[in-house]
Amino acid sequence: MAEVKSMFREVLPKQGQLSVEDVTTMVLCKPKLLPLKSLTLEKLEKMHEAAQDTIHQQEVAEKERHITH
């Protein structure tokens, strides 16, 4: 260890000024943990989807009936 120390001596400037330029960097938005859904919410969404499906099917059926008549 002592040999290594003698090979690389640290340099500490005793004179002069040390200047650090503070560059403003752009910020990234942070990683987003996704919130888990509660059972109620899942059920509501499922019911909602099912309802929309039935309405949609009904509308399609209605349209077809119009076309055939």
Partner 1 sequence: MGSEMEPLFLAWSYFRRRKFQLCADLCTQMLEKSPYDQGPDPELPVSQAVWILKARALTEMVYVDEIDVDLEGIAEMILDENAIAQVPRPGTSLKLPGSNQTGGPSQAVRPVTQAGRPITGFLRPSTQSGRPGTMEQAIRTPRTAYTARPITSSSGRFVRLGTASMLTSPDGPFINLSRLNLTKYSQKPKLAKALFEYIFHHENDVKTALDLAALSTEHSQYKDWWWKVQIGKCYHRLGMYREAEKQFKSALKQQEMVDTFLYLAKVYISLDQPVSALNLFKQGLDKFPGEVTLLCGIARIHEEMNNSSSAAEYYKEVLKQDSTHVEAIACIGSNHFYSDQPEIALRFYRRLLQMGVYNCQLFNNLGLCCFYAQQYDMTLTSFERALSLAVNEEEAADVWYNLGHVAVGIGDTNLAHQCFRLALVNNNNHTEAYNNLAVLEMRKGHIEQARALLQTASSLAPHMYEPHFNFATVSDKIGDLQRSYEAAQKSEAAFPDHVDTQHLIKQLRQHFAML
User: Which positions touch partner 1 (CB under 8 A)?
Assistant: 22, 24-38, 40-41, 43-45, 47-48, 50-52, 54-55, 58
Q: How far is the CB of 19 from partner 1 (least distance, A)?
A: 17
Q: How far, rounded to the nearest angstrom, does the alpha carbon of residue 29 sit from its chain's CA centroid?
A: 8
Residue type at 29 in one-letter notation? C
What is the closest distance, in whole angstroms, from the C-beta atom of residue 55 to partner 1 in the complex? Answer: 5
Alpha-carbon distance values, 32 to 28, 29, 40, 63 (Å): 12, 9, 23, 44
Nearer to partner 1, 1 or 33 (CB): 33
